[in-house]
Structure 1
Amino acid sequence: MAVEYSPYDVQLNVDPYPLYARLREEAPVYHNADLDIWVLSRHADVDAALRDPAGYSSSNGPVLDDAIWGPDAHKMMSFSAMDAPDHTRTRALVSSVFNPRRVAAMEPHIREIVRTHLEAALERESFDFIADVAATVPMDVISELIGVPADDRAEARRLINLAFHRPPGARDMTPENAQAMGELAGLFVRWVAERRSTPAEDLLTTLAQAEVDGSPLTDPEIISLLGLLVTAGYETSLRLLGNAWYWAWRNPEQLARAFDGGISEWIEETLRYDAPVQYVLRTLTEERTIHGVRVPAGARVLLLIASANRDSEVFADAESYDLDRANTHRAISFGGGPHFCIGAPLARLEGRIVLDELASLISGYQIDAERSIRVYTTNIRGFASLPTTLKLR
């Protein structure tokens, strides 16, 4: 039976990796005629495409949703839906905030945030790892970087969850998604207005005062940029933490390795093994022949990052979750080229601190797998709930 792939297949939400393996082996250039997408699944092909922005354009956006994809994608996705020079100029407005050196200097403060949330969770011993830790820490951290008022953070987190969650089988934004995005944009407008009248030492103030080519940023430009930073900074770290928590529990020998000084390895192998972002979309600017298959100019090309990270041509025993793996640096979970994820250093730091703090306080934990809930989106993989019981030291 010929291999068939659709990012909307609800069965992929359970375990997409056997199908990814078949794509790599049987159809490394796969065409879904109904969706009119071309899919690359091998590491070499995905990595090369990510590093070729001239051939694989981001101008129509990185996701498949019809409500977002197209020449106006930048109005919602900001610089993630731009090519140079617009991408370069817009990304530069915020790049200093996410500079690795500046992010590293935040470690003491992030540990304070983490300990505050862990203290409440540890008092109960049984809690939801997602709701009580993995979701709250990233939101507080990105909120402080940007300047989100403390009183608005819980509401912003609720709206982001509503904006991204899709009912199984949904092929586009639902009315509930659109309403949540609208309400979130309303929060952004208020925050920017407050910073214009009362400047502070935060990114909101920087954006409210920023100029590009001598002209101030418009409110819609600031809103799309804030939307990208808040949602990406929150979603990526949240799903990375949940996936790390789940897979170490499923592999007890690897959990022991993690608790024995392998926290960084825990993060890196999780990023390779079960990447939070499963794919990104690009638009081919010229006809290409790949593995003997002609792909036309203008094609929508889906780059399966999560499949590339399981490619046995790059990673030995790729289907195993192994914290002693030596080459996790070749994983492309945060993309590559000019669109390499600007928040990667922050996501890694948050993950390391959360897991390090927990490892210092507990000897193990149990997850209630039957009550765990996966989040459903077309390109984000992770959990909405992970009921957990801790074993304290």
Structure 2
Amino acid sequence: MSTDSPTVRDGRDEDEVAARGYDPFDYRVHDDPYPFYAWMREHAPLYRNESRDFWALSRHADVKAALRDPRRFSNVNGISLESELWGPRAVQTSLFLAMDPPQHGAYRGVVSSAFTPGRVAALEPRIRQLARERLVPLRDQPRFDFAADFAAGLPNDVTCEMLGVPAADWDQIRADADQLNQRGDGSDDRGPDSVAAALRMAEYFVDLVQDLRRSPQEDLTSVMIRAEVNGEKLSDAEVVGFLFLMITAGNESTGKTLGNAWHHGARLPDVQRAGLNGRAADWSRETLRYDSASQMTARTLVADTVIHGTALPAGARIVILPASANRDHRVFGDPDRFDLDRDSGSRMISFGHGPHHCIGSALALLVMRIGLEEVGALVSGYEIDTANARRIHSPHQRGFASLPCAVTHRPRAGTTDA
């Protein structure tokens, strides 16, 4: 089942896209980045943004090669272009995302056992229970906000429980994480609301770590507290960095991709119908390729390198665009079509590639599938109030803060339609 995408071409011709240029902080890019990606893939596969001082890779082959080569494309300055997140201190908020092998593997290995396929599969009953609990207050509502009331909540609940965050605090963590990622149009600096959210989260995580040091449990935070790397216990700062990583990197991406799936189901009736009636896994997987929440990541070039005939110096900032790679016609046939029958296999790069491949990818897939299955058990159809839908504005994440919708509920067991 494949469906045309009216969102990819929105009237902007190539001259307009070329003149405006690609800027991950531009709200127009947030609204629809795909025309910009398409232009870059064809006309500027090594794209230069002079004002932001970065080069960008948009083709599938280049993105994949960069992600699998940490010896040239390093994480030591972090993966975010924001001025306060880029540099040698990035490890404080990104932990092993701001490390290269072998250090990266030593820290990542502390928690990797929690994300094995078997351990993740065992979480299915609890994730399904959490999804149903999120849906209870929505069961008889003719309207609800899919993004705010469900998509953002479910992965946050799962992640917070894994980390040992008390259930009473889950919604505050989610609200602060949402605010943390917001940026003004064209700005790479955090506004006062974002700074305040970051401080609240940091204070909360410090208190949580100290509480669990006194009384460790079986959660992931306690695992980090008990762990040793190179014979030394992790510091509070390192554990807090891991908590920020789990909440802002994995949790947010899963929730935003769920919302993107819902958005595309609203404009593509065949996708909505199939997705709500048994094809939740296909719906979530194709959304990951077609419109993943994770749009870009950054690296530091370690050595002088020639790319597409241009000599780049060591130290250059490189923006890598997996979301563009997933629309590259050199790899995916008819890439601007949302196709539930598509088998992307290992070609899809939504979870990254190489040593920094997303450690929580299996968990993210499970949460998205269960979330859409449980909504499908409740809802037989829906329409989004597009006039009141609201996107987030982040250079890295693409998705919705609000997706108000009118829904048609399925009859409850033992009842019939009037």
Q: When the two structures are superposed, what TM-score results if normalisation uses the length of structure 1?
A: 0.97
What SS does the aligned partner of 2:336 have?
coil
**AA in 2 matched with 1:252:** P
Given candidates 197, 200, 209, the residue that maps to 2:214 is 197
Structure 1 distance, partners of 2:346, 2:265, is 19
Task: Report the equivalent of 2:3.
Answer: none
**AA in 1 matched with 2:189:** D
1:115 aligns with 2:105: no
* Contact 1:268–1:328 (Cα < 8 Å) also in 2: no
Given candidates 216, 229, 250, the residue that maps to 1:212 is 229
How far does the alpha carbon of each residue in 1:30-69 deviate from its partner, in whole angstroms, 9 at most, with x for none? 1112211001100010011101111110111111001010
Given candidates 72, 83, 93, the residue that maps to 1:76 is 93
Question: Compared with structure 1, are the counterparts of its residues 141 and 359 closer, same or farther at alpha carbon in structure 2 (3 Å cutoff)?
Answer: same
- CA RMSD in angstroms comes to 1.3
Structure 2 distance, partners of 1:128, 1:116, is 16
Structure 1 distance, partners of 2:244, 2:306, is 36
Q: When the two structures are superposed, what TM-score results if normalisation uses the length of structure 2?
A: 0.91
Structure 1 range deviating more: 158-167 or 269-278: 158-167
Aligned residues: 393
Matched ranges for 1:153-168 at <5 A: 153-168=170-185
1:369 aligns with 2:386: yes
How far does the alpha carbon of each residue in 1:112-143 deviate from its partner, in whole angstroms, 9 at most, with x for none? 11111112112213111111111111111011
1:304 aligns with 2:306: no
Q: Deviation at 1:325?
A: 1.3
Structure 1 range deviating more: 12-21 or 354-363: 354-363
1:143 aligns with 2:165: no
1:24 aligns with 2:76: no
Matched ranges for 1:43-192 at <5 A: 43-192=60-209
Structure 2 distance, partners of 1:35, 1:169, is 10
Task: Report the equivalent of 1:238.
Answer: 255
Structure 2 distance, partners of 1:206, 1:259, is 38
Q: Deviation at 1:328?
A: 5.0
Structure 2 distance, partners of 1:213, 1:49, is 28
* Contact 1:258–1:265 (Cα < 8 Å) also in 2: yes
Question: Compared with structure 1, are the counterparts of its residues 268 and 151 closer, same or farther at alpha carbon in structure 2 (3 Å cutoff)?
Answer: same
What SS does the aligned partner of 1:282 have?
strand
Question: Compared with structure 1, are the counterparts of its residues 133 and 238 closer, same or farther at alpha carbon in structure 2 (3 Å cutoff)?
Answer: same
Q: Deviation at 1:28?
A: 0.3
**AA in 1 matched with 2:360:** G
Q: Deviation at 1:176?
A: 2.5
* Contact 2:24–2:30 (Cα < 8 Å) also in 1: no
How far does the alpha carbon of each residue in 1:260-313 deviate from its partner, in whole angstroms, 9 at most, with x for none? 432111111100111111101011111222221222221101001111111011
* Contact 2:139–2:378 (Cα < 8 Å) also in 1: no
1:336 aligns with 2:353: yes
What SS does the aligned partner of 1:63 have?
coil
Structure 2 distance, partners of 1:48, 1:256, is 38
* Contact 1:207–1:217 (Cα < 8 Å) also in 2: yes
1:256 aligns with 2:280: no
Q: Deviation at 1:232?
A: 2.0
What SS does the aligned partner of 1:168 have?
coil
**AA in 1 matched with 2:352:** G
Given candidates 58, 69, 72, the residue that maps to 1:41 is 58
Structure 2 distance, partners of 1:241, 1:260, is 16
Q: Deviation at 1:361?
A: 2.7
Deviating above 6 A after TM superposition, structure 1's stretches of 4 or more consecutive aligned residues are none
Structure 2 distance, partners of 1:215, 1:294, is 41
Gapped runs of 5+ residues in structure 1?
none
